Structures are given as structure tokens and as C-alpha cells.
């Protein structure tokens, strides 16, 4: 109904009002004097006419600021012309600006005469501003994107997929827009960095704190690497745009400033490294030594000048020497660290060919445009020597402990030796008296028998003395194949006299299946002796000690149980600690020494309380392996 030619037939105010209110634009109908005939609500709103009664009033009266050019147009429209403009500026009386689209046309009566004009305006301000903003933004952005040779910008979506890739990025990385858009930005990282989850970590930092900024490596399409100063900014989403990231890279590989600061920090680093006790060796990603600290010089015997430039594998004995290049290649390929991060004990090879132990910690770093690894080495020669000394000391202590045991054992031993010696003395004396009295064959036979017995007793005394000597002599592990029953009986023999005095009965049960074991006889005897002696002391008087030997779970199990009071619950946890004793003359070393000995043999020693009050100590000894049985 409303067209360029105007309104064909204004058929009553109601109808016009109805029609006008259906139109989204602001519409006003004027008569030939430019007085309002009709307008819709939008007109009232757009031109802020509030509830002014405007019908019949002059347009120029309401808007005195209307420019002459407009007045001119109105006139021409009243003369039959039509005008329109897609975007025009309109300045409100308060000075604010609106952008409008307008359409001005005459309207005719039934005879074709111009009755007035119809003016239609549409407020485009929001739309235009939005448009303008985005146009400025795009403009600015492309300016910024292509501003410098060594800068590249791309946009990423929330998952790190590339959504915008401009010529700067193409120039820097080599991928075209078509290739890059839609890909994950992980394509700009090498396998090792991807393996370590670096891409997602960088996004996470950006998302968490707004932006991520660092110097790190990026990969070009052709696989080459360069050091980039990276800024990843998180762009929060709104109703229209989903959230994402801006990823700006500046190629700093050739950057002078960086090189200078690197040099400065290298000097600083060197002075620090030369004073720390750990040696430091820096290698590049091919294993070539780049830096060698003073401590490293001392450690390996190489001068810095002669070792820099060589492959670090010359500092390792086989098999690491041959495998090191492979380790590096594997790490580059898979990103799975082998030594990086952790601390491990490895062997080093000095210039003079000697091998020494050291710990190695490796860190990864980037600098001067390349990936580097810094190894921190700590010499273990001293530590391990100290450990060996400690072990030696422990053996000494065991030795001293044994000698002190001797003090208490001496009484028992004297008693033990006294018997055979007395017997020998008696028999030799009787024999000599018999012979002196002269005698026949019968007497001679008696004498011979007595001397034979004396001989046996002497042998027994000798055996006791020998055992005593071997008991106090210092023991390295001197393993021989031993019968467990024999070991138990020998040990018991040493306490037999004391046990008899205390009226303690010792019962020995050796299972038929008990097999020979490969042990240090004297040391295992000492364990047994200690346990049995502790048992006798715990019982004090009248009781039993049961010793039981049988195979158990692939080992030989020794059990020494007694009818004494047992170990009070609160003492059990400290039972095997050195110097834990309840005896006035005790040293509290016995059980701790026993434990050392049993563990040195690859066995275990533990305590089990008997609900009826007695104590039981159990220990295991590994069974003989077949090849050991053959070899011995």
C-alpha cells in the first residue's frame, strides 16, 4: 500500500494507524504544509516525541533545527519527486548522532494530485556501529597481523584449533590458510613437546590467568624449529562469539638482545657453577658437549678446551657409551624422558680410563635457538667409600660384640673345658700309677684304654677351643655347605653347661626334609647361640627351649622358642634396635647383630610371641640352589 508513488488511497485514520504500526521503520505522513497527518509509534520513539500531540502540527515547528537541504527535499517531494538514502547521518537536538536509512515520497489523492509527503526512516545506528567496529577491528587486526616480518598471529578456538590464519603466520610457519585453519595448533610443536602435553598446558595457563607468555620452540611446516616469543591471550566468549585464544609469535631466533642477555647469564651461570660442588655438563640435542664446568674438569680429568665439541658419550663406560646417541634420539622422537627429571646412579669414565660412580640429574633447557640438556653430576666415590667404611665398622663392631660376649661365655667355657681336662688328668695319673706298680697284660690293656679315653677328651677340649677361636675371629661371609642340624647342635653345645646349671631342657627337632644350606658357619652359629642364650637368660631357671628346623616356602626356617615370660608388647617394636636391652650387663647388640647376619645371608629374622607367654624367634636361610650344590 505504501510505495514510492505514495499512498494510493488513505482509507480512514484507523486503517492508516493500523498499517503504520505494522511497519518496522518510523513512518510519518505530512500534508502539503508539512504538518503531521499521521505517524506510527516508532516515529514517536525514534524522534523522542514522547506524548506530544503532534497531529496537525508543523514538522518544522517540532524540529526547528532541520537543515535547509531537507526543507528543500520536502519541497521537491511535494512537487512529485521521490528520494531515498541507504545510510545518512541524523543529529538529534541534544547533539547525539543516529545513522538512518530514509525514504521520502509524495502521496496522492484519488485525482493524482499531491496531498503531501510520506517520510520513512529506519534507525541503523546499532547495526552501523557494530559494523563499523568490526570493520575497524578487522582493519586494525590485519594491519597488526602483517605489520612485521617476524610476527605472526592466529586465532584458536577453545580447544586450540586454528580458526584464523593470516599471511604473517603463513610466512612464518609455511602452512597456507587452507591448510592451517581447522587444524590443532599442536602442529606448531615438536613431538617431544606434544608428548609432554606442552600445547594444552600453555592454553591452560592462558585460560587460567588470562595470558601465557614465554620463549619456546615452535615447528615450521618443513619441520625446522625456531625460538618464538609466544603470547597466548584468552578471549572470553559472549552471546555472539565463542571463547578462544589469540596466538602471537615473534621469531626471536636471531635476536641480538636475547643473545646478549644469554651471554650475560652464561657468564653468571659459569661463575655459579664453578663454585658449586656438583659438576655440570651441558650438551646440545645431538649430545655434543657445549659447556663443561670446573668441577667436571676435576672429576673427569679433561680440560674444558679438549672436551667441548666432543660427544658426551666419551665420558661414559660401556654400554651407555654406545647407547647414548640412541637414548637422545628416542627422547626426541617419543618425548618420553629416560633420565630427564630424575636422579640416578650411573658410571663415569675418566680420561685415564678409570670408572667411578656418580649421580646424574638432567634438566632440559632452551637457549640461543637450540634445545640443550644440562647434566648435574655428583661424585659418589667418596660416599661409597664412606659406606664401605661404615660396613667395615659394623663388622668391627660385630667383632667387638663377639669379644664382649666372650666375657660371659668364658665362665661357661671354663666349665666346659674343665671337664675334659680333669678327666685327662685323672686318667693319665691312674695310668702312670698302674704302670709303676708293674703289671701283666691285663694292666697294660687297662692303661691303653685309659690313655685312649684321655686322647678323646683332649680332642674334645681341642674342638671346644677351636670353636671358641673361630667364634671370636672376624668374619667375612665365608660360605660353606652346612647341615642345619649340625649347626644347631654345635651352638647348643656351647650353652649346654649353662643350661644344665639352670635346669633348662633343650629340645632339638630337625625335620627329615631339612636340606643343606650355603652359609657362613660361624656367623649362623652365632645367631643360634645368641637366640638360645637369650632364651636361657629369659627363662632364668627351670624351663624348656625348643629348636625346630624345617623347610618352609622354599627356605629353611629356624625357630627358637622358649618357655620364658616372652617380650612385653611395648618392647617388641624396638627389639632389634641396637642398645635395646633389659639386662644390667647386656649390651643390647645381640639381636641387631643377628639381624645383620641373617639379612647378609638373604634371610629374615623376626619375633613371634606365644599367647601362653613364651617367646619365639624365627629366621630363614635361603636353600641351596642346584648349581651351588654341584659346584661345591
| Binding region for ligand ADP (CB under 6 A) | 530, 534-535, 538, 562, 564, 566-567, 575, 580-583, 586-592, 615
Nearer to ligand ADP, 470 or 582 (CB): 582
When the beta carbons of 518 and 593 are compared against ligand ADP, the nearer one is 593
Q: Which is nearer to ligand ADP, 206 or 528 (CB)?
A: 528
Least Å distance, CB 490 to ligand ADP, is 19
Which residue number, 78 or 589, has a Cβ lying nearer to ligand ADP?
Answer: 589
User: C-beta of 299: minimal distance to ligand ADP in Å?
Assistant: 43
CA dist 399 and 372 (Å) reads 53
DSSP 447-503: HHHHHHHHHHHHHHHHHHHHHHHHHHS-----EEEE-HHHHHHHHHHHHHHHHHHTT
Q: How far is the CB of 477 from ligand ADP (least distance, A)?
A: 21
Contact by Cβ (8 Å): 86, 128: no
Give pairs for 495-500: CB < 8 Å, separation 24+: 495/412, 495/529, 495/532, 495/533, 495/536, 496/416, 497/412, 497/415, 497/416, 498/412, 498/533, 498/536, 499/536, 499/545
CB contact at 8 A, 555 and 621: yes
d(CA 88, CA 121): 10
The distance of closest approach from Cβ of residue 519 to ligand ADP in the complex, given in angstroms and rounded to an integer, is 20
C-alpha cell recorded at residue 460: 674334645
Q: How far is the CB of 583 from ligand ADP (least distance, A)?
A: 5
Nearer to ligand ADP, 161 or 559 (CB): 559
Which of residues 192 and 615 has its CB atom nearest to ligand ADP in the complex? 615
DSSP state of 157: E
Nearer to ligand ADP, 290 or 591 (CB): 591
Residue 376 C-alpha cell reads as 648435574
Cα–Cα–Cα angle for 607, 613, 616, rounded to 5 degrees: 25
Least distance from ligand ADP to the Cβ atom of residue 520, Å: 19
CB 557, min distance to ligand ADP, A: 17
Between 377 and 616, name the residue whose CB sits nearer to ligand ADP. Answer: 616
Residue nearest ligand ADP, CB atom distance: 590
Do residues 417 and 461 lie in contact, with contact meaning Cβ atoms separated by under 8 Å? yes
The DSSP string of 506-527 is EEEEE-TT---EEEEHHHHHHH
Distance in Å, CB of 392 to ligand ADP, minimum: 22
Nearer to ligand ADP, 295 or 526 (CB): 526
CB 402, min distance to ligand ADP, A: 12
Helix, strand, coil % (nearest 5) of the chain?
45, 30, 30
Q: What are the strands, taking DSSP E only, across 92-202?
A: 97-108, 114-123, 151-157, 162-165
Amino acid at each position: 500500500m505504501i510505495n514510492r508513488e505514495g499512498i494510493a488511497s488513505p482509507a480512514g485514520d484507523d486503517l492508516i494507524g493500523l498499517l503504520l504500526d505494522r511497519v518496522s521503520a518510523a513512518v510519518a505522513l505530512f500534508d502539503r504544509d508539512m504538518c503531521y497527518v499521521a505517524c506510527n509509534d516508532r516515529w514517536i520513539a525514534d524522534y523522542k516525541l514522547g506524548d506530544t500531540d503532534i497531529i496537525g502540527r508543523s514538522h518544522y515547528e517540532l524540529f526547528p533545527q532541520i537543515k535547509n537541504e531537507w526543507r528543500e527535499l520536502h519541497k521537491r517531494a511535494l512537487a512529485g519527486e521521490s528520494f531515498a538514502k541507504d545510510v545518512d547521518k541524523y543529529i538529534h537536538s541534544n547533539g547525539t548522532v543516529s545513522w538512518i536509512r530514509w525514504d521520502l515520497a509524495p502521496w496522492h489523492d484519488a485525482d493524482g494530485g499531491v496531498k503531501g509527503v510520506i517520510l520513512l526512516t529506519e534507525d541503523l545506528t546499532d547495526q552501523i556501529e557494530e559494523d563499523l567496529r568490526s570493520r575497524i577491528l578487522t582493519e586494525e587486526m590485519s594491519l597488526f597481523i602483517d605489520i612485521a616480518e617476524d610476527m605472526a598471529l592466529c586465532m584458536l578456538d577453545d580447544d586450540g584449533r586454528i580458526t584464523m590464519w593470516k599471511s604473517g603466520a603463513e610466512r612464518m610457519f609455511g602452512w597456507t590458510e587452507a591448510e592451517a585453519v581447522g587444524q590443532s595448533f599442536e602442529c606448531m610443536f615438536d613431538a617431544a613437546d606434544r608428548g609432554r602435553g606442552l600445547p594444552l598446558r600453555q592454553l591452560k595457563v592462558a585460560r587460567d590467568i588470562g595470558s601465557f607468555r614465554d620463549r619456546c620452540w615452535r615447528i615450521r611446516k618443513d619441520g625446522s624449529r625456531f625460538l618464538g616469543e609466544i603470547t597466548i591471550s584468552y578471549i572470553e566468549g559472549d552471546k555472539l562469539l565463542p571463547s578462544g585464544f589469540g596466538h602471537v609469535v615473534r621469531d626471536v631466533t636471531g635476536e641480538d638482545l636475547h643473545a646478549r642477555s644469554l651471554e650475560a647469564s652464561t657468564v653468571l651461570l659459569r661463575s655459579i657453577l664453578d663454585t658449586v660442588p656438583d659438576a655440570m655438563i651441558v650438551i646440545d640435542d645431538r649430545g655434543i658437549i657445549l659447556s663443561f664446568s670446573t668441577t667436571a674438569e676435576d672429576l673427569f680429568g679433561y680440560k674444558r678446551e679438549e672436551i667441548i665439541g666432543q660427544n658426551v658419550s666419551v665420558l661414559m663406560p660401556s654400554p651407555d657409551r654406545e647407547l647414548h646417541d640412541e637414548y637422545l634420539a628416542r627422547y626426541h622422537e617419543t618425548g618420553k624422558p629416560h633420565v630427564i627429571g630424575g636422579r640416578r646412579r650411573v658410571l663415569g669414565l675418566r680420561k685415564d680410563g678409570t670408572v667411578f660412580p656418580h649421580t646424574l640429574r638432567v634438566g632440559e633447557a632452551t637457549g640461543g635457538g637450540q634445545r640443550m640438556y644440562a647434566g648435574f653430576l655428583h661424585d659418589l666415590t667418596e660416599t661409597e667409600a664412606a659406606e664401605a667404611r661404615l660396613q667395615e665398622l659394623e663388622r668391627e663392631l660385630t667383632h667387638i660384640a663377639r669379644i664382649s660376649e666372650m666375657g660371659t661365655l668364658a665362665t661357661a667355657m671354663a666349665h666346659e673345658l674343665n671337664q675334659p681336662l680333669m678327666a685327662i688328668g685323672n686318667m693319665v695319673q691312674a695310668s702312670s700309677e698302674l704302670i709303676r706298680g708293674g703289671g701283666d697284660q691285663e694292666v697294660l690293656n687297662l692303661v691303653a684304654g685309659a690313655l685312649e679315653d684321655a686322647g678323646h677328651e683332649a680332642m674334645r677340649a681341642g674342638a671346644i677351643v677351636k670353636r671358641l677361636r673361630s667364634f671370636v675371629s672376624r668374619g667375612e661371609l665365608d660360605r660353606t655347605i652346612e647341615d642345619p642340624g649340625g649347626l644347631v647342635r654345635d651352638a647348643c653345645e656351647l650353652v649346654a653347661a649353662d643350661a644344665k646349671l639352670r635346669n633348662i631342657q633343650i629340645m632339638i627337632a630337625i625335620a627329615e626334609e631339612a636340606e643343606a644350606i650355603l652359609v657362613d658357619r660361624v656367623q649362623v652359629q652365632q645367631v643360634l647361640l645368641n637366640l638360645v642364650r637369650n632364651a636361657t637368660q629369659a627363662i632364668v631357671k627351670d624351663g624348656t627351649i625348643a629348636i625346630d628346623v624345617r623347610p618352609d616356602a622354599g627356605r629353611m626356617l629356624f625357630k627358637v622358642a622358649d618357655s620364658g615370660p616372652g617380650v612385653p608388647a611395648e618392647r617388641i617394636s624396638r627389639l632389634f634396635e641396637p642398645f635395646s636391652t633389659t639386662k644390667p650387663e647386656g649390651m643390647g647388640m645381640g639381636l641387631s647383630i643377628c639381624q645383620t647376619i641373617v639379612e647378609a645371608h638373604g634371610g629374615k629374622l623376626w619375633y613371634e610371641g606365644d599367647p601362653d607367654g613364651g617367646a619365639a624367634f624365627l629366621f630363614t636361610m635361603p636353600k641351596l640352589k642346584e648349581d651351588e650344590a654341584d659346584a661345591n
